[in-house]
Every structure is written in structure tokens, then in C-alpha cells.
Structure 1
Amino acid sequence: MAWRSRMVWVGAAALVVSTSAGLVAPASADTLSPAPAPTVTPGVTSLMVEWDPADPAYPVPVGIRTYTVELSLPKWHRHWNAGGDSSLAITGLNPATAFVATVHAFDDGTEVMTSVPSSPVQPVMPAAPAKVSVVPGNKQVTVSWAVSAGAGGYVVFRDGAEVGTTSRRVATFVDTGLTNGIVHRYRVVARSGFFHPRRGTATSGSTASSPRSFVRPATTPKAPTGLTGIANDRSALLRWTATPAADNGGQAVTNYVVVLGNSRVLPPCRSGVTDPCSSLPPGATAAWPSRLVLNLGPENAYRFRVRAENVMGQSGNSGRTKPIRPTAVSPPFSMGMRGRSITALQQRLMWAGLGDHVTGVFDSETRSQVRHLQGKFLYDQTGVVGPGTWSLLNRITRDKGVLPASCLSDSLCISKTQRILRKVVNGVVVRTVDARFGPEGDEDLATAEGLFSVDYKDGCSDGASPSSYESMMAHCHVSTEYKTPMPWSLFFNGGQAVHYSYYFNQDGYWGNSHGCVNVRDWDGVYWIYQNTPVGTPVYVYW
């Protein structure tokens, strides 16, 4: 119960005029001299008042049944009932005001003791709201912050003007009715919500958060920039600079649309589509800044534009590419032939991991690469590119020049389709080796697909030789399950690892691994082992 009273001193006695109970009683004639002042500790919009009943100045001839704490200012005071306790926390106070605390002791409504008033003590202001964040949306911005201890509520300001308030438990505010594309700045103020001594109404002491950076409500993205195109066999590879979310009011780009000419939007490529269409690189999301445009007519000139897309809609068109003229490659190709078709052949052989020999002339090195390709996929090794070999090469190099999105940092990029392992550093292929896998369809032996990382490594000691099975058994890691050597092992999925395979080197693609990624190039896998630390991403895909 809170007491509101005023003391009227008459000689040695006092009358307590109670506005809540209407009691008027004389104090005991044995009332003692004033007790010591209480201890007052400031808190956030609060005061902790404490006193010591064991102090010799407090005992009285009659039992003390209750205490009250009086906070006072000039021309104002208020009592709080402490019951029989010797301390009282008083909350919801004005942090801009210094209060004087006095303790009163009562016995059956009769005041029998009054302490000396404390020195003026001022409560602490609520802390400024922290972790203020702003998220732009469609014609609105959501402002949120961490709750401030002792705050009675919050006031949100936009560009210096108040735009809304929340209660003490609500630490978020949605500012609506905004114009997309206009930049704003926000700050949040914690108000104390104290009881005002003169008006008896809630009002606000305040502490502002640090103003947030400028925020632009979400809008459609800006058009992509830096668009380039490369002609391929009946196709074109397009690349551009990704549109940053900061250009879209914080809303990230979710897709890019390829436009042929000025307005023809190309659909995604699907089975059975024969008209021009756009295809993503393997493993890439729709927000990846590259597309392969397929089904283009040979020798025609094409110009492309690109649009960025987010939740708000599409940007305008980017600038146009220069005219792109896809090549038309018609096999067979053999020794001595030259021209653009041979250049296209050599480019695809290069992307299949068979070297970097691009001269436009079908020479002995090109023939050797063709034979390697044919043997790798169990074709007759004629060295001549007929329709079957050309169809195979087109299938495994469909996305020529485009790495999967998961392979664009330092990684081991392993293609089951091409049967190769690429060592990638900073998005650049620095080494390529042939790879063999576990049999597809076998749940126990198929090589796992997906994104992994190198968990641990196990190499070979001195004395290991690729020509000696016994030396590998003696000096390299040996499979505990299959009792075969696994030189230069890079484990990435439990017992599955990238490693040199004696049998792959002997038998080629007539066999399979037991689930590992076999490599038959001793020097190549040793170099990869030496230059691939634990933790390196490993991406296995079709």
C-alpha cells in the first residue's frame, strides 16, 4: 500500500494526516530522535533505498510493524510502502530529477520514527538503444534494435523527425508510406516513461541511438554492366558484372534475364527446346552473372542484352554485346584440316582437360588428344573426329569455359561427366588430371556427389614408386577394407578420397574405383596433394 501524507508537528508529537485511510493519530510520547539517513543507490530510472533496523537509533518502545519510504522534491512528495522490509526498489522515476529519500517507521498507523533525509540522488538514464538495424522493403523500412534496460518505451526518428513510438517491450518499428528509391536516415530514442511530479502523467527523458547509415527503400535493380559475349559452336557464352544489393535498396538480385535483340526474352533451356534459350552453369543459382545461350544459327550475327531481377521487378536493359557469330562445326575432322571448325574442336578438347593446344590446324598433337578422348570413353581410338566423337565432345563440354559456382574459389572441382579433376586457385584452373569413380547405381560403391571439404591427408614416405605396387603398399596409405594402396590420399567424405590408383594407371576406364576418386597421373596427383591444404572445398558433380 502506498501512503500519501503530510506531517504536522505539534510540540514533541506529530499528526499523520493520511489521504488514503483518513487516520489521524498522535505519535507515541516515547518517539525517539531521528534515525540515520537511508542509503540510496541509483539505477536505471530507479532508486534502491536501504536502512538498517539494527541501528541503535531505530528501536522504539513499541514494535515497528511497517516502514514507508518518502521521495520528495520541492513542493512534491510521495510515499511507498515497504512493509516490514528494510529496503525498497522504486522504479519508473524521472532520470532528470534528483530525489531526497526519508524512511518512516509505523506501529498500527502511528509514526514512531523518521530518518534523517538522504542527500539528493538522481536515477540513471536508460541506455541508448544498441544494435539498431534497418531493412528496406516495398515502400517501407523496418527498424529494429536491442531492448534497453529501464526504458519505458522508444521513439523512432526519420531524418530528424519523429515518425512513431513503441512500448518498452517492442523493439521494432515499420515505417510505411515511403517512396521507393528515396534515401533516409534513422535513429531510435529510449524514453524513461517516468511519473512526472507536477503533471502526474507519463513523459519522456531520452537517449538517442547512434544514427544509422543512409537507407534506401527497396527498388528495382539497376541494369547490369560489363556485358561481354564469346561465340561457340551454335552457342554464345555471356558474362557480366553482378548488380550489388546496395544498388537495389538492399534487395539482392534473384535472377538475370537474357534478351535477344532489344526485347526478345529468352526462356530457360529445357529438354526438347530447339529455339534459342539460356542455360545456367552447372551448380549455379539464377543470380549467377553468366549464361550460355544455346540453339543459335551458325554464321548469323546476334546481339544480346541482360536484365537484373529482384522482388521489386526487373531493371532496364543493359548495354548490348558486340555482334556474336556462332560457329558451325560439321565433322568429320582429321589430320591436315584447318579453319574455324578446327579451332572450335581444339577449344572443346581443351575444356575436356586434354591440353591447351589451339592453333586452328588439325596436327599430330590434336590427333593425340582425340585418341585420348576416345580411349577415355571406350571409343575406337582412330584419331579422327566423326559424328559419334563430335557428339560425345559436345555433350561433355556443353558449358565450355564455365566453372560451377562452387568451384570459383580455391577448390578441387571434379566432373563425373568429363571424368576429370580440376585444381582451381582463385577461380582459375591450374591443373587438370583424368579421374575415375565408383560404379553408378551401386549404393555402397558410387562416388558421392555434392560439396565437401578435405578432412585429412595421408601421403607416402620415401621409397614409394608408381611403377612398384609393393613399394606403394610399404610406404603409402593402405585401404583397411580393400587392402590396396592409396598414395597421396585427400579424404573428403568418410573413407572416400582423391588418390593415385595403380589399377587405374594399368587398366584405364575398363574398371571402377570402390567409391574414391582415382587419379592415374602420379606427378599430377602428387602436385595436387602438396598444394591442397586440409579444409579445401571438394565439389563432385555431373
Structure 2
Amino acid sequence: MPATAAVLLVAALAVGCRPVTVTKTGAPDGKGVHHAPTTPAPPPLGRHAPPPARATHPAPRPVMAFGSQGARVRELQARLAQLGFFAHSPTGYYGSLTTTAVRAFQRQQGLPRTGAVQSAAWSALRARTRQPTRTELHPPTTRPIGVLDRRCTTGRVICISKRSNTLTWVVDGRIASAMDVRFGSQYTPTREGTFHITFKSRRHVSTIYHTAMPYAMFFSGGQAVHYSADFAARGYTGASHGCVNVRDKAKIAALFGEVGKGTKVVVHR
């Protein structure tokens, strides 16, 4: 064996666990060669290297958002009204009108315009407004009632005006409560005239439209006075299928407790 080959063979046997056949030139011959596994080099840290993973943090849970209901939502609406962002009676229902008002306030304050009230927006609103009064939280109505129809001046009457879009609960000529209402569209108009309550249903669901009609008080066939979540959320952009919609749930609930079967209902212009 030539000296050079012998030296290379001895070196190969001394380095690895598995022998590698080497030619005179020192290159593998490709026949029955086994190479020990090698650890891949780490990727370069140049401009093509993937950025390090960033820790993700969940978004803070909103204090109030679309669909929220209750006294705090009513307070939110009253405070937004103090600043001119909410031009409606507080209803305690967080719908599209409230979402639009919140976005306007957030834009003014330089906050993310999510339409949902985060803690930062709620703190900013409270700092810029005062505690709403009871009248601000429960206003009689956003619309002028005007002169009562003469049919509403005696006895206990649910007096409903299409001219002012209001319902007044009148007891012996005195207005005990008032609330905003909306009516049916031109294709399903609310009937006018003098009627009487035929039956009441606290948790009524329409068998025709399969929609909730809480605190329903029926006065003319399938037409009733009832609370409408859609009216509370969208205001006068919508219409009923002929019923008289009320958007203040607390007021219609109180009226439901006062009204009995046979109570007179007057719907007029």
C-alpha cells in the first residue's frame, strides 16, 4: 500500500465510528459509503430570516357593546345626550343608534372607533359629563304631546297620536306617563279609531312573523301595543306590521301592569 493511502486510511479509522473508503485523492468512491449524520446549520440571521414570534394579548373586554341592556346603557345614552352625541330618549338598549353615537365620541377623543365602550372610553365619558338626572334617564317623551284628543279626556285611556308619535296613559284627564311609539308601514298600517284591550300577553311571540312581542296588549285583531327591541335599536328607520311599537321597556312594562282587559284605546291623527 502506498504511504499516502495508508496515512489517509489510518486517519479515517481514528476519527469516525464507521469506516469510510477513501481513494488516493481523498474523495469518497460512492460505493457502500456511510456518512455519519450531521446537525444542520442554523438559518442565517440576515434579512430573509423569519421575525421572532410576538406575544399576543387578548383585546380587553368591553364594558358595554351592541346588544347590551340595562341601567348602565341608559346612563351611557343620557351622558352621550349631554354632549350632543345621542339625540333620542334613553331606552337602556344598545343598538345601532347607540353604536353610532359611541363611535362619534371615540373619534372626538382620539380613541379607537370600535363602537363598543371600552374602559378608557367609559372613563373619558364620565369625566366629561355629570350624573344624569332621573328626568334625563326617563324623559316623558322626545316629542311634543300636544292637545289630547277629546276621546282621551275621561276615564282610563291609552291615547295614541300618529301626529306626534306618542302614547300617553291618561287617567281622568291627567297624563300619568308618556312614551315614544312607531306604527305600521303604508303596506301594513295601524288602524285608527276607538278600541278596547281584548287580551294581554307578557311574553308574546308572533305566530305569523315569529318575532318577540313582550308586554303585548291587543286592541284590534292582531294589532297590539308592545315593546320592540328593533325600535329601541334602530329608531324610526323601521316600521311595524301594524302594531304600536314602544322602545322604552321600563315604561311599557309599567303600563302593562296598569292596564286591564277592556281599557279604552284611542288611535288618532
Q: What's the TM-score bracket when you normalise by the shorter of the two chains?
A: 0.3 to 0.5
Name the larger-Rg structure.
Answer: 1
The structure in which a higher percent of residues are strand is 1
Higher relative contact order at CA 8 Å, sep ≥6: structure 1 or structure 2? 2
